[in-house]
Amino acid sequence: MSDDYKPRFSFEISLEQKNRADRVLTNYGLRKAIFNHILDDVLNLIEEHGGMVVGVLMSGQCKPRDILPTMKEAETAAEKAKGVTNGQP
């Protein structure tokens, strides 16, 4: 294997997803920074709990932020910051 080899994790997305990602993830390296954390969370859950996690994730019955601690923390922090900027406690 060459020293220049960089492993990739890729999958097909919809055109709508691509357009949304292009619009909101504009800074270089932002996609990698965000999705590396999400991938680590998913892999940790699967290693800890096995196929049950895969089933729950694939069922579509809940949102990733309901399952992945990192995403829930990001949502909570964003809601707190939004409350502060809106003058709420």
Per-residue confidence band for 88, with pLDDT thresholds at 50, 70 and 90: low
Asked if the structure places residue 78 within a domain, the reply is yes
Q: Which residue has the higher pLDDT, 11 or 69?
A: 11
4-57, pLDDT tens digit by residue? 999 998 999 999 999 999 999 999 999 999 899 888 988 888 899 888 888 888
Asked if the structure places residue 40 within a domain, the reply is yes
**CA angle (45, 53, 14) in 5-degree steps:** 100
Helices (H), 1-89: 15-24, 30-49, 51-59, 64-67, 69-85
What residue type is 23 in one-letter code?
R
Question: Which of 55-59's residues contact partners 24+ apart within 8 Å by CB, and which partners?
Answer: none
- Write out the residue range of the structural domain in which residue 38 sits: 15-85
- 38, 55, 76, 40 alpha-carbon torsion, rounded to 10°: -20
| Domains held by the chain: number | 1
Asked if the structure places residue 2 within a domain, the reply is no
